[in-house]
Amino acid sequence: MGGLPAGTYLFSATVHSGAFCTETACFFSDIYCRARLPGEDISGSGQNDPGDFIPINGTGTNVIVHAVPDNASLTVECVTSETDKALAVGRVYALKVDVVN
């Protein structure tokens, strides 16, 4: 998601770990996902943490309130282990807010 105007946003990112299928096989795996702004992990996972755990065929949601500069972009990065494969399908919402209590 890119081109956001400066401000404070409530971000909601939902990711599903599904099957990655080829012509000959389907692969399933646990995945780890984190929300990022350029140069910054905003998911709260920490620099050395792989991200939020999403089990095989599971769904995870992360809700974050964060201030961003003008023309900001948000990405959700998901990984598996080096030998596993999976398909991560997700949706991200950004709601600009004036005040968060």
The per-residue pLDDT string of the chain (101 residues; one tens digit each, 9 = 90 and over) reads 889 999 999 999 999 999 999 999 999 999 998 888 877 777 665 555 667 889 999 999 988 888 899 999 988 888 887 788 889 999 999 999 987 77
Q: Is residue 59 part of a domain?
A: yes
Domain count, the chain: 1
70 domain-assigned? yes
Domain membership of residue 101 (yes or no) is no
User: Which residues constitute the domain of residue 80?
Assistant: 7-91
Domain presence at residue 99: no
> What pLDDT was estimated at residue 71?
92
In a domain, 100, yes or no: no
Q: Show Cβ contacts of residue 13 under 8 Å, excluding neighbours closer than 6 positions.
A: 33, 35, 61, 62, 64, 74, 76, 90, 91, 92, 93
Q: Which residues contact 80 (CB under 8 A, 6 or more apart)?
A: 29, 30, 31, 32, 86
pLDDT at 98: 87
